[in-house]
Amino acid sequence: MPSMASICGPSSEGLPASTAHRELAASSCVLLAESSQQAAAHLLAESSQQAGTHLLAESSQNAGPHLLAESSQQAGPHLLSESSQQAGTHLLAESSQQAGTHLHAESSQQAGTHLLAESSQKAATHLLAESSQQAGPHLLPESSQQAGTHLVAESSQQAGTHLLSESSQQAGPHLLAESSQQAGPHLLAESSHVNSKAIRHQSKI
């Protein structure tokens, strides 16, 4: 079979001189050239696709870690800030509850002590004045000391019972016990002293 150069070349040596053969050779050259162009275009397209796919994959691999690192850096501070705000709010609320409970308990103790002391003073003064008025006029001088002692003891019991009921509702058992220990002997001594003076004054009259 003759080569492409021998068919399509300018030299026609060794070829028959018939017109049919020359036309056949010319048409073969046209078909061969067209086929070569199509094959080259197909190979070029296929090579371009393969090269594009390879470059795209390589670019994705290179770009992926960079974008991931950049996204992590941007997201990190935002998430940290949001987490800190939530944790701060939670700790603040918990601390406020604890502080409120502590202050409430402390305030209740102070208020209970104050009310107990104030009511003790008022009750003692009232009972002392009442017992002085009742004991003075109708008791004999010689029994004044006995009656004063009896009334002081009785009024102390009444005052203690009244204060026990009232302070139990306001201040609690602990404050009541403590206040009773501190206030009882002092009020009893003061009541006895004042009552003795009142009896002596009535006796002189």
**pLDDT tens per residue across span 26-38:** 888 888 888 888 8
> Helix 144-170 to helix 19-138 angle, to the nearest 10 degrees?
170
Confidence category of residue 16, pLDDT binned at 50, 70, 90: low
Of the candidates 167, 199, 200, 198, the one whose C-alpha atom is nearest the C-alpha of residue 182 is 167
pLDDT at 1: 42
Chain segment 119-150, per-residue pLDDT in tens: 777 877 777 777 666 655 555 555 556 656 66
Confidence category of residue 4, pLDDT binned at 50, 70, 90: very low
Type of residue numbered 46: E
Chain segment 60-77, per-residue pLDDT in tens: 788 777 777 777 777 777
pLDDT at 134: 64
